[in-house]
Amino acid sequence: MPSDPREQEELAPQPRGIVEELVRDDVGRKKFLKAVGGAGAASFGAFVLAACGSSSSPTSTSRKTATSAAGAAAPAAAPSVPTSFGAGDIGILNYALTLEYLEAEFYAKVVAAKLFNGSVGSLVAEYGQQESEHVAAIHETVIKLGGTPAPKPTGKFPLTSAAAVAKLAYTVENLGASAYLGQAAHITSPTVLAAALAIHTVEARHAATLATLVPGGHVTPTGAFATPANAATVLNAVKPFIA
């Protein structure tokens, strides 16, 4: 990790680059637009590939057969998250837990910094509370499945101004939504999948509303089809926010 001490002004624009990178992702918008708009010319395969991301595995492992916790990791599929998080659904949950920890801490610090007042302030506090609920729910689910919850990382966030923080929040939420979307097809247990979907759309709701606080923000930054992000992309993007 580059350890050059960036100035705070430089940190703020950086997350924006991440969003743009996600938007430009080769499995992203263009492919979708081509697949969807090409009236017959586009193949179903392209549509599906775009939705899955390149890491998708076409193994026929059934979700139904894999109910026994970590050991249920699809044997033929490459892990969708680094093995340090654990195997199978537990690994995916621990990856999500790590992201949720960061989001929750970020909002807690934003609220403590009193950067927002009024309705925006309430909204930010509410979103922070929801991220904390995600942490608790995922933490518990990992234990339920017999796994060990990932440790809480220590975050570091540049809280320089309301504008910069809004932009960062927008970026982080878009990233979170992309991260969940990137894992959905890799989840084995229907229960875990249902929970992940329930959280996924809440992250999207956060991102869409934060867009209104950001100049150039978009409710749907990638258009009709949201873009998934794989774990490597997401973890690289959040690296600057882990102490």
Partner 1 sequence: MITDRLANPELAEVEVGGVTRASFLVRGAVAAAAVYGTAAAAPFVSSALGATTDIDILNFALTLEYLETDFYQVKAKTVGLAGQAAHDVSIFGKEEAAHVAALKQAIKQAGGTPVAKPTFSFPVTNASSFMNLAYTVENLGVSAYNGAGPLLQSKALLAAAGSIVQTEARHAAAIGLLIGKSPTPSGGFDTPKTMGQVLAVAKPMIK
- Smallest separation, CB 220 to partner 1 (Å): 5
- Smallest separation, CB 2 to partner 1 (Å): 31
Task: Supply the angle between the helices 162-184 and 231-238 in degrees, to the nearest 10.
Answer: 160
Give, in degrees to the nearest 5, the angle at Cα 211 between 208 and 212: 110
- Smallest separation, CB 90 to partner 1 (Å): 15
Nearer to partner 1, 194 or 232 (CB): 194
Nearer to partner 1, 17 or 38 (CB): 38
Nearer to partner 1, 12 or 234 (CB): 234
Distance (Å, whole) CA 94 – CA 100:
10
Question: Which residue ranges make up the site for partner 1 (CB under 8 A)?
Answer: 32, 35-37, 39, 42-45, 47-53, 56, 58, 63, 67, 123, 126-127, 129-131, 133-134, 136-137, 139-141, 143-144, 177, 180-181, 184-186, 189-191, 193-195, 197-202, 204-209, 211-212, 219-220, 223-228
- Smallest separation, CB 15 to partner 1 (Å): 18
Say which DSSP state 79 is in.
Answer: P
- For residue 134 the two structure tokens come to 């995600």
Residue 155 sits at φ, ψ, to 5 deg, of -90, 160
Q: With contact defined as beta carbons under 8 Å apart, do 66 and 74 qualify?
A: yes
For residue 40, how many C-alpha atoms fall within 13 Å in the half-sphere facing its CB?
0
- Smallest separation, CB 113 to partner 1 (Å): 22
- For residue 172 the two structure tokens come to 């982080």
Measured in whole angstroms, how far is the alpha carbon of residue 37 from the centre of its chain? 27
Nearer to partner 1, 56 or 167 (CB): 56
- Smallest separation, CB 54 to partner 1 (Å): 12
> Which residues face 155 on adjacent strands?
242
Judging by beta carbons within 10 Å of its beta carbon (0-12, 13-18, 19+), is residue 19 exposed, middle or buried? buried
Q: Is 89 helix (H, G, I), strand (E, B) or coil?
A: helix
Nearer to partner 1, 12 or 66 (CB): 66
Say which DSSP state 62 is in.
Answer: -
Nearer to partner 1, 51 or 99 (CB): 51
- Smallest separation, CB 83 to partner 1 (Å): 21
Nearer to partner 1, 208 or 238 (CB): 208
